[in-house]
Structure 1
Amino acid sequence: MRRWLLFALTLALAACGSDRPKYAPLPPGSVVLAFGDSVTWGTGAARGEDYPTRLAALSGWRIENAGVPGDLAETARNRIDEALEEHAPRLVLVELGGNDFLRRRPEQDVAEDLRAILRSVKAAGAQPVLVAVPAFSPLAAATSGLKDALIYRRLADEEAVPLVGAVFADVLSDTKLRADPIHPNAQGYHRLAEGIAESLRDHGLLAN
């Protein structure tokens, strides 16, 4: 009986694993859109040290930087279609929400704005990837204990899109990797790019 239960459990776990989305790696030269706010833009570091530039070097992709300092998920949803039409990317990295949290916007409202962006990306025939942003917490920031806001995991599951989790929060939790409490420095952007690349490899979107 025990052996039968073990066998059944193994089959169940295998079935669960088979339900996970499978992605094909994007070849070098593919157009990728980095869509976000000042963190995508590269505030806190010199020109060319932003994470999209670093990620382009790691991946061989052609990454277009569509970061707008100060942007909200609420306003970014109004410019995503234009960015998609201009660049025709195969993959879009969505990094937004930090400024919304600073303004104390309800997390559910932020989630719905992000959902609209992800769906616009899908409608354009591109693959969206959600980059989790830390929850607003002055105490966690002061004690190097930032964590992802919970909406990102829920939203990634609901919309069936890959999530880059914990990377941004880990960078901002390290005082040596940030230019100020909300922006990485050059070393931090390098670490952010490496973490995103590692997560994309785990999802199968970037070749090893």
Structure 2
Amino acid sequence: MGLSWMRRHCIALGLLATLAGFLPVHVAQAVQPPPVILVVGDSLSAEYGLKRGTGWVALMEQRLAKEKPQAKVVNASISGDTTSGGRSRLGALLAQHRPTLVIIELGGNDALRGLPLQMTQDNLQAMTTAAQAIGAKVLLIGMEMPPNYGKDYAARFAALYASVAKTNKTALVPFLLKGVADRPDAARLFQNDRIHPNESAHPTILNNVWPAVKKLIA
């Protein structure tokens, strides 16, 4: 076996290793595309009643620009959207943007309209499965209902997010408005409709979401 044979053998092994995905970690990281974060939400994520660029999604994009400059954020949130609406839109969004992370912030309007909880859960399940099927990670954003909806309904509504997250092993932010809607002086953090947080509340909302986002795109 001469030197020429050994050289060809080493080259062949190198090509096989490359094809099998056995690249050194630093090389693999170098060729990974920048993360694309797709946010599918309702008015809480669509900057309803706010000046453009002041909602939590825009603030997240600004923070990412400092920590992960190549990351791209696609905010596909629509005011008034339900889980059924999000489910119907998601396929086209996944095909168009090929996200690495999908943030699902839906369900509040389902509850406000009195839609069946099982339907909401089924829609969230279908959206999560669809995102995972293309290799995307999923972050579910939970919501809680005011006390006037009744303790039993509120508990079952909050639990459906945890159930979907557990079933699919996804990340979960249990309550998007933690530190906003549950404070004694909550009224000052909401717009006049008492439903939508005002501009001053959105940094807190981002802080609720950011740890999970940072971990998922690390």
* Alpha-carbon distance between aligned partners in 2 of 1:185 and 1:80, rounded to the nearest angstrom: 28
Say whether 1:205 aligns with 2:212: no
Post-superposition offset of 1:166: 2.7
Q: What code does the residue aligned with 1:51 have?
A: W
Deviation of the 1:175 alpha carbon: 2.1
Quote the residue 1:176 is aligned against.
188
Q: Find the counterpart in structure 2 of residue 65 from structure 1.
A: 75
Q: Cα deviations across residues 139-191 of structure 1 (Å, max 9, x unaligned)? A: 79xxxxx9872211121111110001234243233223222332111121221
* Deviations 1:43-91 (CA, angstroms, capped at 9, x unpaired): 1311111211101112233211100111110121011011111211110
Aligned to 1:120: 130
Q: Distance in 2 between matches of 1:151 and 1:100?
A: 12
- How many residues get paired? 175
TM-score when scaled to structure 1? 0.75
* Structure 2 residue aligned with 1:150: 159
Aligned to 1:165: 174
Q: Distance in 2 between matches of 1:44 and 1:153?
A: 29
How far has the Cα of 1:42 moved from its partner? 1.1
Query: Which structure 2 residue ranges, 5 or more long, are not aligned?
Result: 1-28, 66-70
Asked if the contact 2:50/2:199 (under 8 Å) is kept, the reply is yes
Deviations 1:7-57 (A, max 9, x none): xxxxxxxxxxxxxxxxx9xx9952101111111111131111121110111
| Structure number with bigger Rg | 2
State the percentage of identical aligned residues. 29
Indicate the SS of the match to 2:80.
coil
Q: Structure 1 regions of 5+ residues with no counterpart?
A: 1-23, 141-145
User: For the Cα contact (< 8 Å) 1:51–1:190, is it kept in 2?
Assistant: yes
Cα deviation for residue 94 of structure 1 reads 0.3
1:48 is matched by which residue type in structure 2? G
What is the CA distance between 1:101 and its match in structure 2?
0.2
- Equivalent residue runs for 1:3-82 within 5 Å: 29-60=34-65, 61-82=71-92
CA contact (8 A) 1:167 1:195 kept: yes
Deviations 1:119-158 (A, max 9, x none): 1111122111100011254479xxxxx9872211121111
Q: Look up the SS of the partner of 2:93 in the other structure.
A: helix
One-letter code of the match for 2:160? Answer: I
Asked if 1:194 corresponds to 2:207, the answer is: yes
Q: Tell me, yes or no, if the aligned pair for 1:130 and 1:152 is still in contact at 8 Å.
A: yes
The residue that corresponds to 2:6 in the other structure is none
Q: What letter is aligned with 1:134?
A: E
* DSSP 3-state at the match of 1:94: strand
Aligned partner of 2:127: which letter? I
Q: CA RMSD in A?
A: 2.5
Letter in 1 for 2:190: R
Mapped partners of 1:167, 1:75: distance in 2: 20
Quick one: distance in 1 between partners of 2:119 and 2:146?
Answer: 15
Partner of 2:18: none
Cα distance change of structure 1 residues 195 and 87 upon mapping to structure 2, 3 Å threshold: same
